[in-house]
């Protein structure tokens, strides 16, 4: 399932010890049979490896996707069978960054319509007056690998670069020469160009919609080489028609393939059919990277760029499952509590948990903290690396003496001079509990939907809150009250969990929790 000659040459060089076959156009029973005959497989996006494709498979140990997205692979089914799924996230970084810049330049200088005019026999220099990039302001939403490469190119063109990324510290932004912006709405009135390099999530869907048109800088040009749906296409059309938006360049669309769109008929619009990674170099690089990943795994057991959790030894996983869940949920809690601008994390392990491999627990915490904010799929294999790439410092401490509990994990997240602290422990084998939040100590369930608020520690508060919830038909499944100190009358907080909330099993943690 690998087509690049450079990748095949590497497989040839891996002999003896590695034998391979190239099989193309596989579907249904043929694909299922092929996967059952080998220890590893390399595929591209055209191959759909479903649960049915893996049914009954007792041999396959690893699948490598030669590319970034792994939507064509049923990762849940693969995990159940102990199959490691890996991808090649770095291979198309430069190609996508260059395509973004190519669209930005072509849009600014009216390249496409000017070329088309020449083809019709016209010479219309005055009709295609352009705009230079120098001294313009570029806004970048999402400063991962691709976003940072776009920023480098923009600064080479003497552009000012503003950036938003909830997991990029101010220090790292300064090193990159980027002015870090706290929120996307703060950025929009200031930028002449806007480009996005984030995954499509609930938070990023329709990041630019009709309601944002009023705060955009007049004449702004918008570029998207990330995921369709980050810009609302209806809003782009509306902005172009009103003149608020000066130009739009899209490589991705809400529904693909897209061959008919009202945007195609508009002036100042430039579109390409998802060509961000379509370069010879990118395709060669992902093939080479894919072969290295699979060969190293089969020879040494090394796992890199895994997108599921099957790389962990099953015995180790089972013994740590409960505390992995606690660490992951503490990360999820802090990711929603903080206000952005994270610069560092401190993790303290105390008591019996220090006898376990707490580096694995740290990875689970990082996965919870970063999930939903990365273009890559975040899991306990790659989360710590992604965290450090954002310039966020990570520090671990361990104390063998027990505190109020036989084992506990305390996590601190530092953001713009503020520190957010949460602590957790494990009751029994699998009951995650929140035992600290900020200055408050308590004991509450650490799952489902949590409603958190502070109040004065005086009579009547809990009853009033319960009445409000009741009026809105919200059922409280469990509640806990904690004090900052030991005396009544001060500050207190309370957490409640809905009865209809569900526990997210650890087996889903890396990709879908």
Task: Please give the DSSP secondary-structure letter assigned to residue 461.
Answer: H
Residues 97, 153 contacting (CB under 8 angstroms):
yes
Residues 161, 189 contacting (CB under 8 angstroms):
no
Give phi and psi for 349, each to the nearest 5.
Answer: -105, 130
- Is residue 414 part of the annotated active site? The answer reads no
- Is residue 274 part of the annotated active site? The answer reads yes
CB atoms within 10 A of CB 468: 10
With H, G, I as helix, E, B as strand and everything else as coil, classify residue 61. Answer: coil
Residues 91, 304 contacting (CB under 8 angstroms):
no
Contacts of 140 (CB under 8 A, 6+ apart): 147, 150, 151, 154, 161, 162, 163, 164, 178, 195, 196, 197
Residues 272, 109 contacting (CB under 8 angstroms):
no
Encode 205-242: b = buried (16+ Cβ within 10 Å), e = exposed. Answer: ebbbeeebbeebbeebbbbbbbbbbbbbbebbbebbee
DSSP-based helix, strand, coil % in the chain, nearest 5: 35, 25, 40
Q: How far apart are CA 145 and CA 41, in angstroms?
A: 26
Q: How far apart are CA 254 and CA 229, in angstroms?
A: 5
Which residue carries 């984030």 as its tokens?
198
Encode 288-307: b = buried (16+ Cβ within 10 Å), e = exposed. Answer: bbbbbbbbebbeeeebbbbb
Residue of 221, 227, 329, 332 marked catalytic: 227
**CA-wise closest residue to 347 among 335, 332, 370, 330:** 330
Tokens of 186: 């703060």
Pairing of strands 431-437, 269-271: unpaired
Contacts of 25 (CB under 8 A, 6+ apart): none
Residue of 19, 37, 256, 397 marked catalytic: 256
* DSSP class per residue in 83-131: -EEEE-TTTTHHHHHHHHHHHHHHHHTTHHHHHHHHHTT---GGGG---
Residue of 23, 109, 190, 274 marked catalytic: 274
Q: How far apart are CA 6 and CA 505, in angstroms?
A: 41
- Is residue 98 part of the annotated active site? The answer reads no
Active site residues: 227, 256, 274
């Amino acid at each position: 399932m690998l087509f690049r000659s450079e990748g095949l040459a590497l497989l040839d060089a891996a002999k003896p010890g590695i034998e391979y076959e190239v099989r193309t156009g596989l579907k249904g029973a043929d694909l299922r049979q092929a996967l059952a005959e080998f220890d590893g497989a390399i595929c591209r996006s055209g191959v759909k490896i479903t649960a049915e494709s893996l049914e009954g498979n007792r041999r396959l140990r690893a699948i490598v996707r030669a590319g970034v997205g792994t939507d064509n692979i049923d990762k849940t089914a693969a995990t159940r069978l102990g199959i490691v799924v890996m991808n090649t996230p770095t291979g198309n970084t430069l190609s996508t960054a260059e395509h973004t810049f190519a669209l930005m330049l072509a849009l600014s200088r009216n390249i496409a319509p000017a070329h088309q005019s020449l083809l019709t026999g016209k010479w219309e220099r005055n009709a295609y007056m352009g705009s230079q990039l120098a001294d313009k302001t570029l806004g970048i939403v999402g400063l991962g690998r691709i976003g940072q490469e776009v920023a480098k190119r923009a600064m080479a063109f003497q552009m000012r670069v503003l950036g938003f990324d909830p997991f990029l510290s101010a220090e790292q932004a300064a090193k990159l020469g980027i002015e870090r912006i706290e929120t996307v709405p703060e950025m929009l009135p200031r930028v002449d160009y806007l480009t996005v390099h984030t995954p499509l999530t609930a938070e990023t869907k329709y990041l630019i919609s009709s309601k944002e048109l009023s705060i955009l800088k007049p004449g702004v040009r918008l570029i998207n080489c990330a995921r369709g749906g980050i810009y609302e296409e209806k809003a782009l059309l509306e902005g172009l028609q009103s003149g608020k938006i000066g130009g739009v360049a899209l490589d991705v669309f809400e529904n693909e393939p897209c061959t008919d769109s009202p945007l195609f008929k508009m002036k100042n619009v430039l579109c390409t059919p998802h060509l961000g990674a379509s370069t010879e170099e990118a395709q060669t690089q992902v093939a080479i990277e894919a072969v290295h990943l699979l060969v190293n795994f089969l020879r040494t057991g090394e796992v890199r760029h895994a997108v599921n959790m099957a790389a962990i030894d099953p015995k180790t996983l089972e013994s740590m499952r409960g505390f992995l869940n606690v660490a992951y949920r503490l990360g999820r809690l802090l990711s929603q509590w903080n206000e952005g601008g994270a610069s560092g994390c401190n993790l303290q392990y105390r008591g019996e948990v220090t006898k376990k491999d707490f580096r694995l627990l740290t990875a689970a915490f990082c996965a919870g903290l970063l999930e939903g904010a990365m273009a890559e799929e975040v899991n306990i294999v790659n989360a710590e690396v992604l965290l450090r790439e954002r310039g966020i410092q990570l520090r671990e401490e361990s104390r063998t003496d027990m505190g109020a509990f036989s084992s506990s994990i305390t996590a601190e997240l530092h953001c713009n001079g503020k520190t957010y602290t949460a602590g957790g422990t494990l009751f029994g084998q699998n009951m995650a509990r929140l035992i600290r939040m900020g200055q408050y100590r308590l004991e509450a369930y650490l799952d489902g939907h949590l409603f958190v608020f502070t109040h004065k520690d005086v009579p009547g508060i809990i009853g009033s809150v319960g009445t409000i919830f009741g009026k809105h038909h919200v059922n409280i499944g469990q509640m806990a009250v904690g004090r900052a100190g030991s005396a009544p009358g001060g500050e207190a907080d309370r957490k409640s969990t809905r009865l209809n909330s569900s526990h997210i099993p650890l087996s889903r943690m890396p990709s879908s929790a």
